[in-house]
């Protein structure tokens, strides 16, 4: 019996009042999925008390139920007149901040064009110690609250004998969503669209091209180059504020970014990768997963003109880049939308910046060389971000 059928059987048994479930006959992934579904089914945790869960499993199910119902409010500072952004503001910026045509009518790379051969050569001269850090984060099979549940993550050994169960040789298969909430991934410029003159468009004015076969024609991930080497600048907001991590819904403004520049002695410029650490992974380690896509620290929409002015080539956050809630009435992710559609600035969500933060602080140097390869998924909407920082 396949996993979904087995899970539905348990739900039927549960609903019929036969609450004693033999959990040991299910895979770990099925148990996690069942706990999630059961927590939704009972709409709370009282009924879960009659299910034969271990104390640890019961606690986990409670956390899932509570997390699904957790709500967040926009930070009050987002309504201050000095930073407040409205839909009217964004409509004006669609013209004022546009990079459409900047690199020609057939451009596919957007702000990655700022990474010139000269910029790459200069970045290699930043290497002093040869110490490397990982800037990516891979998926986890635990289906946690912050996975996003876009698609089940699976890791299967494909070389196991179907009769004996013994391995013949090491061979496996991995399946996951490119936009999983735990996977560091670089969005293709076809990922977001917006209405313009009666039709949905993507960067450079191309018509929105999402089909069952992916982004067909323009701005798919395989159109955006093989990979890049350039300078990275790490903005460590928790360090600047003297905390381990920023709390959910904390906005980051231009004043914060420029205060960091003064602190670190760096200036963000054309062709740089801007890494913005809010401390998502540190908070997760301390308190467990939460719906950071509903309540997460990140950039406020008022930073958009600054990103355009500085010529940032790639924006990397450790959550979804946008502060959540956005604080902009009528739109959930204005940074995502305008960077990708208007500026042609690709984003990386869920970057892992903890190791880089540690090494940078030890050296008191927050600029270093970054390199990454793009996985050229045909017509793909994203690529895993397996970047390396080198100090």
What local confidence, expressed as pLDDT, does residue 209 receive? Answer: 92
Token pair of 176 as six digits: 């996951």
For CATH 3.50.30, the residue range(s) in the chain are 76-139+182-390
Three-class SS of residue 50? helix
The mean of the pLDDT values for the chain is: 86
Q: Quick one: residue 330, left, alpha or beta (phi over 0 = left, psi -120 to 50 = alpha)?
A: left
292: Cα separation from own chain's centroid: 10
What local confidence, expressed as pLDDT, does residue 56 receive? Answer: 45
**pLDDT above 90 for 16:** no
Cα dist from 108 to 44, 94, 102, 120, 129, whole Å: 48, 19, 11, 20, 35
**pLDDT above 60 for 39:** no
pLDDT in tens, 82-128: 999 999 999 999 999 999 999 999 999 999 999 999 999 999 999 99
Give the right CATH number for 76-139+182-390 from 2.60.40, 3.50.30, 3.40.50, 1.10.10. Answer: 3.50.30
* Higher per-residue pLDDT: 240 or 68: 240
What local confidence, expressed as pLDDT, does residue 33 receive? Answer: 52
């Amino acid at each position: 019996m396949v996993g979904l059928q087995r899970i539905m059987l348990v739900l039927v048994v549960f609903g019929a009042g036969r609450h004693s479930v033999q959990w040991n006959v299910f895979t770990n992934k099925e148990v996690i999925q069942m706990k999630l579904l059961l927590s939704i089914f009972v709409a709370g945790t009282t009924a879960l008390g009659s299910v034969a869960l271990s104390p640890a499993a019961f606690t986990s199910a409670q956390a899932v139920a509570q997390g699904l119902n957790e709500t967040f409010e926009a930070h009050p500072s987002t309504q201050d007149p000095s930073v407040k952004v409205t839909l009217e503001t964004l409509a004006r910026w669609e013209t004022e901040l546009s990079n459409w045509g900047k690199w020609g009518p057939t451009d596919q790379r957007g702000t990655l064009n700022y990474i010139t051969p000269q910029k790459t050569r200069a970045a290699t001269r930043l290497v002093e110690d040869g110490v490397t850090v990982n800037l990516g984060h891979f998926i986890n099979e635990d289906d946690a609250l912050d996975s996003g549940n876009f698609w089940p993550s699976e890791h299967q050994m494909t070389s196991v004998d179907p009769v004996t169960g013994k391995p013949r040789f090491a061979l496996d298969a991995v399946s996951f969503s490119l936009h999983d909430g735990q996977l560091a991934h670089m969005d293709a410029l076809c990922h977001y669209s917006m209405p313009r003159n009666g039709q949905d468009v993507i960067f450079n004015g191309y018509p929105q091209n999402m089909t069952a076969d992916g982004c067909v024609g323009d701005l798919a991930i395989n159109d955006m180059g093989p990979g890049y080497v350039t300078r990275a600048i790490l903005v460590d907001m928790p360090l600047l504020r003297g905390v381990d991590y920023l709390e959910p819904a904390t906005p980051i403004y231009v004043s914060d970014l420029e205060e960091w520049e003064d602190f670190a002695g760096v200036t963000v410029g054309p062709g740089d990768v801007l890494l913005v650490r809010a401390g998502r992974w540190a908070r997760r380690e301390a308190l467990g997963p939460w719906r950071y896509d509903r309540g997460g620290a990140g950039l406020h929409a008022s930073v958009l003109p600054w990103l355009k002015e500085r010529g940032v080539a790639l924006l990397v956050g450790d959550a979804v880049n946008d502060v959540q809630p956005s604080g902009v009435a009528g739109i959930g992710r204005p940074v995502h939308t305008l960077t990708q559609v208007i500026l042609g600035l690709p984003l990386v969500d869920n970057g892992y910046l903890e190791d880089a933060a540690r090494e940078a602080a030890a050296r008191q140097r927050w600029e270093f060389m970054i390199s990454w390869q793009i996985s050229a998924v045909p017509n793909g909407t994203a690529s895993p971000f397996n970047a390396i920082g080198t100090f």
